[in-house]
Amino acid sequence: MRIIGGKHRGRSLAAFKGKDIRPTSDRVKESLFNILAPEINGANMLDLFCGSGSVGLEAISRGADLVVFNDVSKDSLEVLKKNLALLRSDAPVYNQDFRTLLNGIDITFDVIFIDPPYKSGFGQEALQIIAARNLLNTGGVAVLESDKPFDGNIPSLVQYDERKYGITYLTFFSPD
């Protein structure tokens, strides 16, 4: 894993050992940031199921003002903290269930990246809480990474795009 663009471009990141974790591939991350480029500089971003933090760290490298990281796994957060230290960056890091974080946070975001464990169903639930609590700023975007096309309807969010990269789907939502 590495930083693809911005001021830390080319920097290698600490990664997980083993096969229990599925980080966002560099190809998917590069495509994501090509799409989100206009929204990142100066943005508030939430990396909800952050794992090693590669997506949020990419946003920091590309000029996001604030990136909030959350993961329920303490092991994931240890890798994230190593990566933040590598970049000499400071950011809020939470070790909470996504529901607890989304229901308790008092910040709104320009970008929310949601990459739950595949087949968990947590993505749709997270989007419902985000919509109900108005956690996306006007013009903001929530991106769901999953292993299948999005099938559902989220009140107060409009699905406006979906892209497939190998087995990975990125689905984009904005406030209606």
Per-residue pLDDT of 6-56, as tens digits, reads: 889 888 888 866 555 556 777 899 999 999 988 899 999 999 999 999 999
54, part of any domain: yes
- The structural domain count of the chain equals 1
Strand-pairing partners, residue 163, are: 170
| Residue 66, in any domain of the structure | yes
Whether 3 maps to a domain, the answer reads no
Predicted pLDDT of residue 141: 97
- Within a domain: 13: no
Q: What pLDDT is stored for residue 118 in this prediction?
A: 84
pLDDT at 101 over 80: yes
**Helices within the chain (DSSP H only):** 26-40, 54-61, 74-86, 98-104, 122-132
* CB 115 within 8 Å of CB 24: yes
Domain boundaries, position 134: 26-175
Residues in the chain: 176
**Does some domain include residue 4?**
no
The rounded distance, in Å, linking the Cα atoms of 52 and 54 is 6
Backbone angles phi, psi at 165, to 5 degrees: -130, 100
Mean pLDDT of 162-173: 96
- pLDDT tens figures, 71-96: 999 999 999 999 999 999 999 999 99
Mean pLDDT of the chain: 92
* Bridge partners, 111 (sequence order): 45, 141
Per-residue pLDDT at 2 exceeds 90 = no
* Residue 20 confidence (pLDDT): 53
